Amino acid sequence: MDSKKIQLLITLQKIQSKGDKTYCMPHTRVLRRLLQKYNDNDRSERTIYRYLQELEFEGYIWRQERWQTNSDMELRRMTSIIHLTLKAVYYLIKIGIVAAKRLLSLLCPHKSDSRPIPAVLPADTSAGKRNYEEGRIWLDEINKIIGFREESVVV
């Protein structure tokens, strides 16, 4: 993985750990400022957006669209909710980011800490697809409770 994408992934993880949540909703402007400030990484917002797309394509993050209706009943797109996947958390732990272990415990509260983290991530199998579908159903239920769309939309 490219070092610039690693820096972006670590920045997303830090934002999530700051709020002790498994998701974050930063604007690309905010991500650009943070990368500039802490990593001397001066990239455009468009480049950061492209990095987010590549991270999503590689399976490290997934994004959920958010929409808001204004007073004229027009839809306005808001910043997407960004979730780190288990693949990203395992990768962050592998490269030595200790705070990612807390995120792992938030993502998988039912797993004990005594289980070893796999050195190689499992290949895409039907079990992985099933876990994705179960996660999507779980997310749809949460969206109904908090008032987002009825179905999750992964961008």
Q: What is the pTM of this model?
A: 0.67
pLDDT value at position 71? 82
Taking the C-alpha atoms of residue 20 and residue 3, their distance in angstroms, rounded to an integer, is 25
Within 13 Å, how many C-alpha atoms sit on residue 37's CB side? Answer: 7
pLDDT value at position 61? 92
**The two structure tokens encoding residue 21:** 């949540």
Q: In angstroms, how far is CA 29 from the centroid of its own chain?
A: 17
Encode the chain (155 residues) as per-residue pLDDT tens digits. Answer: 788 899 999 999 999 888 888 888 999 899 999 999 888 878 899 999 999 999 999 999 989 888 888 888 888 888 889 999 889 989 999 888 888 888 888 877 766 555 555 555 555 455 555 555 666 666 676 666 666 555 545 54
